[in-house]
Structure 1
Amino acid sequence: MKLFDKGAYLIGGTEIIDETTDAQAAIQAKTGKAVSKEAAKEQTIAYGILKDHNTSGNMENLQIKFDKLTSHDITFVGIIQTARASGLEKFPIPYVLTNCHNSLCAVGGTINEDDHMFGLSCAKRYGGIYVPPHQAVIHQFAREMLAAGGKMILGSDSHTRYGALGTMAMGEGGPELVKQLLNRTYDIAMPGVVGVYLKGKPQIGVGPQDVALALIGAVFANGYVKNKVLEFVGPGVSNLSADFRIGIDVMTTETTCLSSIWQTDNEIKDFYDIHGRVEDYKELNPGEVAYYDGMIEIDLGEIKPMIAMPFHPSNAYTIEEVNANLMDILADCEKKALVSLDGAVDFKLTDKVRDGKLYVDQGIIAGCAGGGFENICAAADILKGASIGSDEFTLSVYPASMPIYMELVKNGSAATLMETGAILKTAFCGPCFGAGDTPANNGFSIRHSTRNFPNREGSKLQSGQIASVALMDARSIAATAANKGYLTPATDLDVNYANPKYFFDKKIYENRVFDSKGVADSSVEVKFGPNIKDWPKMSPLPENLVLKVVSEIHDPVTTTDELIPSGETSSYRSNPLGLAEFTLSRKDPAYVGKAKEIQKAQKAVEAGSCPLEAFEEVKPVMETIRKTYPDVGEGNIGFGSTIFAVKPGDGSAREQAASCQKVLGGWANIANEYATKRYRSNLINWGMLPFLIKEGDLPFENYDYLFVPGIRKAVEDKTEEIKVYVIKGDEMNEFTVSLGDMTDDERDIILKGCLINYYRSK
């Protein structure tokens, strides 16, 4: 795999010209004409799609309107509640509400099914589409029924990626979907476009997850593609099936890119034809001379079976490397765990070595990444006639949709898998976020799913539990299962892959999916369960701000799973205050109590009473402030909490990572950088200041008080460097923060206090 130091030109879709060479002369020699970089930038597939959806008239600052929206049952309640509070009358574009996260209705009493009934009633009232539990995971339904060439889809799940089908899709926090529901736009500066040039053909036994993990390992840490669009081109694309392309594409989220798009061909046309939607196919190719801001060259034939060791998809090795350097790599994982887990539990992997080989406790093939038809059929071919054994090792397989499941039954693959001792389950995202198949304490699971963050598999540090996940392709998981739990790459086995043809039967969806066809029925009453709560009132940004630092996190990256844990907490995602009780519970259990303490002062301000009496700890703080700023006080001061993290927000698009801090009185985050655009957007949409501070410059400590004078005016005036003071007894020590680039609307949202207030003011 090669990462170009600078940009590159692609000639005729097949030949790369490195920008470091005399590119213009080479282009003229090849094409007979001169092409400027600016003109060549407009020849990418991504540029054309963005232009078609941009309403600003300015391709430097985009205002995008999407064609369709999609959400699942831990996001759609909050989104619709926010939109209803802001004046929603009808879904203006197709909006699909899937139920694939809280499908099991296993915890929380009636909570989960109440949310589902809320979704069904909203689909009827506002004119949407409702997919019942167990029918399909969100992204598989979108592939089968929503994607279309040249279109754009916005989803409230970070793995909203349909680029392989010619659809540019993005995963964002719920407030960005609210904007679309209210006929507003997705505002963003024109992103860079990075080409991914594929050549060659994968070895037999190598699957899409292997290619994806190799790519993630090459670009995550260096930020090569952060917030950019990945555009897959080159002759190697034609050597991949539609399912293979989809399997790579969905994992591009883990590179921290903004979105993805692929050139399309007859393979993708056949995909649409199989699904009865051939009219939605569109051939997409870059122009004769296209310029990319970066280029990644991948020889598919050089990719080997991969494994991403705990606790990140970028912690990638070849399985061959792991088996050859087993004790060293496992010891390195244990060392990294001391940072990721803060030493809260005794994490061991070296004890998984038996007779010099790595033994795993569990295999799972699931969800939007692993649950595709070809992945499962390949696993069945590998396991045909084998047994997974009667020891600790277990294997669970989750087809990504009921149509896939039914075809696996018809072609015999389901029976082949079940005969081995594997368990087939219905479409469910649980293994990807910690709500299904949680291993035993100290268990080690290999999964063809999307993420392997700490506790993502469902264990709880706060209860002394730890298990871990490594990501692998379905083929090598099946090879490991055939070897009864000993880590084995699929390329080690001689397998006759049948590659059966897929037949899609839409009758299942016709029989069970509610589709309003875009017709809203205002006579339908929205159904509210007792756990579905409105957002609490949120105040506008005050003139001056007192912040207490209530959590300080020095991990290299802080995931959204650590900010608001996944798993059983998802049952409370329709209850803002109920869910907020879990904020940072696995990372910093003291956070909630500390945030609530300083929030007492803000609640007193909002009630018109004295904040110093409500929370006496702020009395000496205010005395110190008033020595220098005597006019700061009643009517011009606000109180709240903030956290510091080096690089927060990697992972899920879930808005609750920000909103839970907000409803507990959070006014800001302070970071060296934000891991993803979507997390920073979530902070802004919930009225929280996304402060930036230079790396290595940390003038405060946990539980210090900070004073930000004139913060409201600073936001209004677009002040680049904002003055902040650390209160240390009688002293005020000055430092500066910045807010980075912000649109006028983003500034207005922060000034109003949150997106809900912003829309109410309109």
Structure 2
Amino acid sequence: MVTLHEGKHYIVNNDHIATAEEAAKLSAEEGKKQTLTYQVLEKHNHSDNMEHLEIKFDSMGVYDNTYVGILQTAYASGLKEFPMPCVFTNCHNCLCAVGGTINTDVHKYAESACKKSGGIFVPPHEAVIHQYMREMIVKSGDMSIVSDSHTRYGTQGSVSIGEGGPELAKAMLGKYYEIDYPEVIGVFMTGAPKPWVGPMDVALSIIGKVFKNNFVKNKVLEFIGPGVSSMSMDFRNGIDTMTTESACLSSVWATDDKVKEYFEIHKRPNDFKRMQQGDAALYDGIVEINLDTIVPMIALPFHPSNAYPLADVIADPEKYLGMVEKEAERVFENNKDIHLDLRSKIHNGKIKVDQAAIAGCAAGSFENIYAVDQIAKKLNRGLGTFPLNIYPASQPIMYELNKIGVLNDLMNYGARVKTAFCGPCFGASDAPGNNDFCIRHSTRNFPNREGSSPANGQIASVALMDSKSIAATAFNGGYLTSAEDCPVEFTVPTYEFNSNIYDNIVYNGYGKAQPETEIVYGPSIKDWPQMSALTDNLLLQVASVIRDEVTTTDELIPSGETASYRSNPYKISEFTLIRKDPEYVGKAKAVQVYEKARVAGDAAKTAEIYEVLKAAGVDTPVEELMKTTGIGSVLYAKRPGDGSAREYAASCQKVLGGLANICIEYATKRYRSNCVNWGMLPFTYPDDNINLEVGEYVYLPGIRKAVEEGATRFEATIIGKDGSTRTMELELNGVSEAEKKVLLAGSLINSYKAE
């Protein structure tokens, strides 16, 4: 189905991978320039070379889980007016159901900010962020930056990037996005999907092949080949959104007449540009996909890369559900009250599912939901008590589905149709019951992403599937079923986009800033705390050691229950690592007490922690140490930061006094960027068996000078709980000049204030 070709390869004439004889006659320098990626990046690069890029974007987007912190950073750094179209959607906290007035206060804050600084305000329930960007903003050949990891508008010919909040604040201030030229992977597609195969099936086939071996990590995926034309725009969008789960940086697709038609339908014909790679484009690797061979897939808990043919799981439920139970033992090894019993879902050899949802940027498309209706009509039976929840991705999509009768059909069969909302993707709605097994066409199935709370003794799990197979399951009594087993001749009517829906409700203030507008602040909207510059030396206590192979951002700071508190950095920080290490917050705060004492000039209190330095031969007077040696905590995890772009995974550590991370490698560029932008030193240590324990100290003498001088190796002294000492060489690689300024200043906010 999916074949990986390592090393550099040419795609010739968009129809085959070059043979060795053909490649020998081609120019590598010219081949690189013939990729779509190069064409777009060159247009947006403002540096004097293409190896280190300084990008300026054409548009940007933020949403109600992220925009308060971003705006607080930007306004503190001098924001007056948005330099490009900036979309504010309200698609994560739009239920306004938890936390009293918090969520509506946040929406009023954003609306007033859009009026003040010229933003575009999309009210709650109108559209999820990525659907609005696709429908109204993104152009072929452009670049967008959005505060969400699933920022993928490659199908429209855009190389768009999901990043953490500080990078969005930089864009708001007209600053460059700095990045080394990325490697580019050609996704060469041939054939055409079978009628019962959907976009999630293709996406999971790719993710399952490339995630665990890092084949596309931090690289751009370029979708090309004759197979592209076999897929509709909704189908392409469904694949494109999910590329985030491969750990790639971004994506871009060749554009054709179907893309042209998409822009025409959405009344933006002038925003289309035909884009095709050159006759001999050179890629840093190839993912070859024969679409004819793709079958319905399922990603078992607890990651989209746990992908298997659905037929295999249906045929041997004991084997596959047993695998998930074993994985749950590892995931929840620190919580002895948690026990996942999925094999209890097997009835007469069949897997009985508890709940299903089709939602968000990956699944809430017109075509996906129309296909669900066709399967419902084919099976022609009601859902009974089985809960199937469907969320169209925008009001225009919902309007059109309603106009042609699809929503009436689905509600007649028992489906619950709801407005545009990202909730099922991050655990803010449709939270299942304890030990439930759910199926979803959404973006992620990380632990607790469905809304359960292990800290309270709750556990549930989600498997990812395509909408077609979800419909086949839902209308078959909830027994796991492949769409291949209820074949339908799928037809899709022409989609008509009703732009009046947005014209009548969206506030479009771009280019019309009203600086006299007062920002509306609710009582739960708090500024970022004051942060100190990097001191000459650092004394850090190890607050947590996580030895999982990968630590997701959901584990660093959970989704779901924290959503309402993201306008308050102090409140949300209380949730840091609560699912993975509930003792972390208390340990970090205990160390932070001493840093607060140091800043306040309390020599007696600060002296208590400086006592440990005597073991490292430091006998400097306390008064001098208070001037030169900062105090904080440090977190160790092997590969932290997989998943979401949310900056809180880093900022919450900083709010609690975290000053550094140590890891083998950062799971994503965006998490490392978040750490740097919050002034946390992004150390790496290549040894998988690091000798580091919670409660030990890491002493970093001369760290400020080392950062100033661009040092990439640094000898730290580890002070054990028994007073023994040993040394450890930490690495500080890939720190750019811009990042150096931020680290020295102690945060991006401090750096911009200094300017």
TM over 0.5, yes or no? yes
SS in 2 for 1:406: helix
Alignment map for 1:392-431 (pairs within 5 Å): 393-431=386-424
Pairing 1:207–2:198 present: yes
C-alpha distance in structure 2 between counterparts of 1:681 and 1:289, whole Å: 34
Q: Could you report, residue by residue, the CA deviation over 1:430-488 in whole angstroms, capped at 9, with x for unpaired residues? A: 00001000000011110000000000011000000001100000000000011110111
* Contact kept in structure 2, 1:341 and 1:454, CA below 8 Å: no
Post-superposition shift, 1:721? 1.2
Q: Does 1:222 align with 2:216?
A: no
**Alignment partner, residue 649 of structure 2:** 657
Q: Pick from 86, 93, 108 the counterpart of residue 102 of structure 1.
A: 93
- Residues 545 and 692 in structure 2, CA contact (< 8 A), matched pair in contact too: no
Residue 672 of structure 1 pairs with residue 664 of structure 2: yes
Out of 443, 447, 472, the position equivalent to 2:440 is 447
- Separation of aligned partners in 1, 2:626 and 2:402: 70
Cα drift, residue 496 of structure 1: 3.2
Q: How far is 1:421 from its partner?
A: 0.7
Answer yes or no: is the 8 Å Cα contact 2:616–2:717 preserved in 1. no
1:624 CA displacement = 1.6
* Residues 1:7 and 1:530: Cα distance change in structure 2 (over 3 Å): same
Check conservation: 1:304, 1:318, Cα contact below 8 A: yes
Correspondence for 1:565: 558
In 2, the alpha carbon distance for the partners of 1:746 and 1:628 equals 33
For residues 627 and 540 of structure 1, the distance between their equivalents in structure 2, rounded to whole angstroms, comes to 22
Q: For 2:37 and 2:346, how far apart are their aligned partners in 1?
A: 47
1:36-55 matches, within 5 Å, as: 36-55=27-46
Residue 709 to residue 22, structure 1, CA distance change in 2 (3 Å): farther
Q: How does 1:290-369 map to 2 (within 5 A)?
A: 290-342=281-333, 344=335, 345-369=338-362
Residues 1:185 and 2:186 aligned together: no
Alignment partners' CA distance in 2, 1:348 and 1:164: 40
Instruction: Report the secondary structure of 1:496's partner residue.
Output: coil
The 1-side partners of 2:611 and 2:428 are apart by 46
Partner of 2:18: 17
How has the CA–CA distance of structure 1 residues 629 and 293 changed in structure 2, closer, same or farther, with 3 Å as cutoff? farther
Residue 244 of structure 1: how far off its partner (Å)? 0.4
Runs (4 or more) in structure 1 with deviation over 6 Å come to 628-632
Aligned residues of 2:638 and 2:688 also touching (Cα < 8 A): no
Give the aligned partner of residue 474 of structure 2. 481
- Over the aligned positions, Cα root-mean-square deviation in angstroms equals 1.3
What is the deviation of 1:555?
1.0
- 1:501 Cα deviation after fit: 1.4
Query: Tell me, what secondary structure is at the counterpart of 2:46?
Result: coil
Between 174-183 and 308-317, report the one with greater CA deviation. 174-183
Residue 272 of structure 1 aligns to a residue in which SS? helix
What residue number does 2:706 align with?
714
Q: Which amino acid aligns with 2:423?
A: G
Corresponding position: 1:556 with 2:549: yes
Correspondence 1:240 to 2:231 = yes
Q: CA separation in 2, counterparts of 1:110 and 1:3? A: 51
Find 1:505's aligned residue among 498, 501, 506: 498
Contact 2:82 2:510 in 1 (8 A): no
1:542 and 2:528 aligned = no
Contact 1:388-1:394 at 8 Å conserved across structures: no
CA contact (8 A) 2:86 2:510 kept: no
Give secondary structure in 2 for the equivalent of 1:598: helix
Counterpart CA distance in 2 for 1:740 and 1:419 is 59
CA drift at 1:340: 1.4
Partners of 1:570 and 1:627 in 2: CA distance: 44
Alignment partners' CA distance in 2, 1:15 and 1:495: 32
Aligned equivalents of 1:615 and 1:371: distance in 2? 58
Residue identity matched to 1:122: A
Amino acid at match of 2:558: P
For residues 245 and 704 of structure 2, what CA distance do their matches in structure 1 show? 35
Structure 2 unaligned residues grouped into runs of 5+: none
Alignment of 1:597-612 (within 5 A): 597-610=590-603
Q: Deviations over 1:555-579 (max 9, x none)?
A: 1110000111111211110111111
Which deviates further from its counterpart, 45-54 or 331-340? 331-340
**Which residue number corresponds to residue 126 of structure 2?**
135
Q: Does 1:149 align with 2:149?
A: no
- By how many angstroms is 1:343 displaced? 5.1
The 1-side partners of 2:161 and 2:215 are apart by 18
Aligned to 1:3: 4
Instruction: Return the letter of the residue paired with 1:690.
Output: P
1: distance between equivalents of 2:237 and 2:669? 23
CA distance in 2, matches of 1:386, 1:597: 61
What secondary structure is seen at the aligned counterpart in 2 of 1:63?
A: strand
* In the alignment, structure 1 residue 386 sits paired with structure 2 residue 380: yes
Deviation at 1:126, TM superposition (A): 0.1
- Following TM superposition, by how much is the alpha carbon of 1:36 offset from its aligned partner in structure 2, in angstroms? 1.4
- Paired with 2:493 and 2:416, the residues of 1 have a C-alpha distance of 21
Does 2:695 match 1:703? yes
- Once residues 607 and 306 of structure 2 are traced to their aligned partners in structure 1, the CA distance between those partners, rounded to angstroms, is 45
SS for the counterpart of 2:18 is strand
Q: Hey, what does 1:162 align to over in structure 2?
A: 153
The answer to whether the Cα contact below 8 Å between 2:598 and 2:606 also exists between their aligned partners in 1 is: no
Q: Is the 8 A contact 1:369 1:448 kept in 2?
A: yes
Secondary structure of 1:605's aligned partner: helix
- On the 8 A contact 2:73/2:749 being kept in 1, the answer is yes
Q: Aligned partners of 1:375, 1:720: CA distance in 2, in Å?
A: 49
| Partner residue in 2 for 1:589 | 582
Matched letter for residue 257 of structure 1: C
Secondary structure of the 1:4 match is strand
Tell me, yes or no, if the aligned pair for 1:388 and 1:481 is still in contact at 8 Å.
Answer: no
Aligned with 2:259: secondary structure? helix
Identity of aligned residues (%): 53
Shift of 1:623: 2.3
Give the unaligned 5+ runs of structure 1: 29-34
Partners of 1:237 and 1:66 lie apart in 2 by: 26
Matching residue's letter, 1:5: E
Q: Secondary structure at the match of 2:490?
A: coil
| Deviations 1:627-670 (CA, angstroms, capped at 9, x unpaired) | 47789723110110011111100000000000000010000111
Instruction: Spell out the pairing of 1:724-735 with structure 2 (5 A cutoff).
Output: 724-728=716-720, 729-735=722-728
CA contact 2:6–2:284 (8 Å) conserved in 1: no
Shift of the alpha carbon at 1:696? 2.3
Aligned partner of 1:31 in structure 2 is none
Distance in 1 (CA, whole Å) between partners of 2:176 and 2:383 is: 54
2:105, 2:114 → 1: CA distance?
Answer: 14
